[in-house]
Amino acid sequence: MTGIPGVGKTTVLNELKDIAKQNHTNLTVLNFGTIMNEILRELGKQMNRDEMREQDLETQRKAQDLAANEINNRAGQGTIVVDTHMFVKTTVGMWAGLPQSVLQRLSPRLLVLIEANPEHIAGRRRGDADRKREAAMMSEIMFDLEWSRSTAAASAVTTGAPVKVIRNDPGTQKQAAQELFEVIRKLVAA
């Protein structure tokens, strides 16, 4: 499950957890960034989640690989949904959140892109006072949405997994989560 910062993926995933519970469905959400952050801390590098993308690429790559291993180890019965990114804006350029090495470990059955209108994403970034976010221009957000789609297309070819695009328009987080739940249910039943 991916989406650019501020699109609301964590919000939708919180709704998804509630829906799964109501339907007695065994579903676990894991946040890739949180696991990476824990791994970096274990490696002696304490930082907040927004500082991770500013680290040198080798540090990020190491944490990314270890996080993918950790998620792979946690896979058991039930559905695992990974809250992550198609790409990360590092200081040296756009870097894949799901390069082939990670995709091989995660082996996803479904790739999800959460999308919303650029003006709504900009508004959510401004309104989220809990997190340190860069002020993003609308054109930058539009570029990021396009880059996500392109990266998702490449990942779809590599994995053979379908890509589901889900809209998270204002006030529709429950519907977005319900849509995702229905797709997961179909895949699990197949």
The footprint of ligand AP5 (CB under 6 A) covers 3, 5-11, 31-33, 36, 49, 52-53, 60, 64, 83-85, 88, 97-98, 124, 127-128, 131, 168, 170-173
Least Å distance, CB 190 to ligand AP5, is 26
Least Å distance, CB 51 to ligand AP5, is 8
Least Å distance, CB 78 to ligand AP5, is 21
CB nearer ligand AP5, residue 78 or residue 170? 170
CB nearer ligand AP5, residue 49 or residue 109? 49
**What Cα–Cα distance (Å) separates residue 111 from each residue in 33, 74, 84, 136, 168?**
17, 19, 11, 25, 16
- The whole-angstrom separation of Cα 187 and Cα 112 is 13
**Partners of residue 94 on adjacent β-strands:** 89
- Alpha-carbon dihedral of residues 151, 156, 161, 165, nearest 10 degrees? 50
Least Å distance, CB 103 to ligand AP5, is 10
CB nearer ligand AP5, residue 53 or residue 109? 53
Backbone angles phi, psi at 142, to 5 degrees: -65, -40
Give the residue closest to ligand AP5 by C-beta: 33
- The whole-angstrom separation of Cα 176 and Cα 60 is 31
Residue 34: its H or E element: helix 32-42
Do the bridges between strand 93-96 and strand 87-90 make them parallel or antiparallel, or are there none, so unpaired?
antiparallel
CB nearer ligand AP5, residue 132 or residue 186? 132
CB nearer ligand AP5, residue 83 or residue 179? 83
Least Å distance, CB 18 to ligand AP5, is 14
What six digits make up the tokens of 91?
């200081």
